[in-house]
Every structure is written in structure tokens, then in C-alpha cells.
Structure 1
């Protein structure tokens, strides 16, 4: 599940593109600190079966996030690191910006 970052020179923002290969899925969303864990932040399904979405996220911070694929929470395997979440009793993906 690739994750790409594009830093803007004119603003303290990074354009982060989330790409999730999930050909069998109906919906994929990304929820995290940067969007108040909004599970309705759906990614767009592409013709090749993957889901993709780009978010403008403030820089100089780290953010925990997870994907919600057809209601199932999952991590980004290529995250910058993982952080234990006691509330959910699992690890969250972390992106460092």
C-alpha cells in the first residue's frame, strides 16, 4: 500500500497520497489524527482496482492513521512507523511529516 508525500514550498503543508490495492473492496477510507478519525474520508476507486486519495496535511508533526476497508480496520504496511494504541488495543500506522 504505497504512501507518497509531496511537500509544498509555499505552505507548511504536505500533499499525502494514500493508495490501497483492494480490488475486492467496495469502500476504502483513511481515518487518522489529521481528519479527526473521520471514517467517511473515502478514497476513490480506480479502474485497476486500487483506491486512491490525496490529503493536504500540516507538516512538522506525526499523525496516527488506519485504513477502513469495507468496515475492517487495517494498517499501512509502508508507514513510517507504528504506535501502540491502548484504546483500540492495536498498533496504528504513523506518518511523519
Structure 2
């Protein structure tokens, strides 16, 4: 019975985990580490540059479809630039 349950539970976990975003600061750090502009990220996801700027500032969150793409993008950057995933003290 547990084996039958594990497959649907894994699919649920994958769906839920697939759109988890790091903090706005880490989002920006990852983009900068990759040498990308907000416009380049926006073009890749299919949104306006201002949307990426707002996501990085923590002013708004991407809608579900864009959140999935953005989360995937950020995960790939985190694989290439793991040091950029560390929270750094802000200049608040």
C-alpha cells in the first residue's frame, strides 16, 4: 500500500516544490552572478522587464505559469552559481 501512495505523493511534492522561489535578494544575486540583465531574464520568461524588477524587489510575485518558469530558471542558475544563493547582509 505504501508503494502505491509514494508515487502520487512524489508527484504532489514535485508540483509544490517546482514553484518555490528564493528570497528577492537571492533572485537578484543569481541573475547578477550569471551576468544577465533584467531584460534578458524577462525575455527568456516572456514578461516585461519591469516584472522581473518587481519580483527582485519583492514588490510582486509571478503568477503560477511565470512562477514555474522563473523558479526553474533560478534553480538552474543556483546549480551553476551556488555561492550566489547565500543571503548577504543588506544595505538597508
TM-score by length of 2: 0.27
Computing the radius of gyration from Cα coordinates, the structure with the larger value is 2
In terms of fraction of residues, the more helix-rich structure is 2
TM-score by length of 1: 0.26
In terms of fraction of residues, the more strand-rich structure is 1
